[in-house]
Amino acid sequence: MAEYEYFIKLPDSQYGDGVMLNKYQETYSLIAAKKGQGEKGTVYTTWCYPQLKGNTIAEKAIPMKITLGGRQTAINILKEILAQLEGTPKAQVQLQPKPEPQLKTKTGDVPF
């Protein structure tokens, strides 16, 4: 089960198509989804059967998604996508560096 889900409906869609921002185990993804009728309609994930080697199709369906990675990586990727849509040169996009990993525990001790 996802820790966080946020659905964005496509404005011109008559069938409730949209995109869902999903967070699962510190990994963010964009998932194709549809929302049922009404303000509190259920959001349905779009599923697909991925293609494997040799043009065979997998037996198990998976959500149709784009994995963006951790929080800061996801932000940087989405900023680059936004810059492309706006026509901003890549050099002008302000990307944030990845934060340094913490080597201390909550008590301040080194974990080894």
Report the pLDDT value the prediction gives residue 62, as an integer from 0 to 100: 94
Please tell me the distance from the alpha carbon of residue 71 to that of residue 28, in angstroms, as a whole number. Answer: 7
Q: In this structure, is residue 47 part of a structural domain?
A: yes
- The CA-CA-CA angle for residues 4, 5, 8, to 5°, reads 150
Q: In this structure, is residue 103 part of a structural domain?
A: no
Q: In this structure, is residue 81 part of a structural domain?
A: no
Q: In this structure, is residue 51 part of a structural domain?
A: yes
Mean pLDDT per block of 10 residues along the chain (112 residues) reads 88 92 95 88 92 92 95 93 85 64 58 52
Q: In this structure, is residue 48 part of a structural domain?
A: yes
Please tell me the distance from the alpha carbon of residue 18 to that of residue 81, in angstroms, as a whole number. Answer: 17
Range of the domain at 26: 4-71
Report the pLDDT value the prediction gives residue 60, as an integer from 0 to 100: 95
Q: In this structure, is residue 67 part of a structural domain?
A: yes
Tell me if the pTM is above 0.75.
no
Please tell me the distance from the alpha carbon of residue 29 to that of residue 71, in angstroms, as a whole number. Answer: 10
* Two tokens, residue 54: 């040799």
Structural domain count, the chain: 1
Cβ neighbours of residue 50 under 8 Å, at least 6 residues apart? Answer: 57, 58, 62
Please tell me the distance from the alpha carbon of residue 108 to that of residue 28, in angstroms, as a whole number. Answer: 29
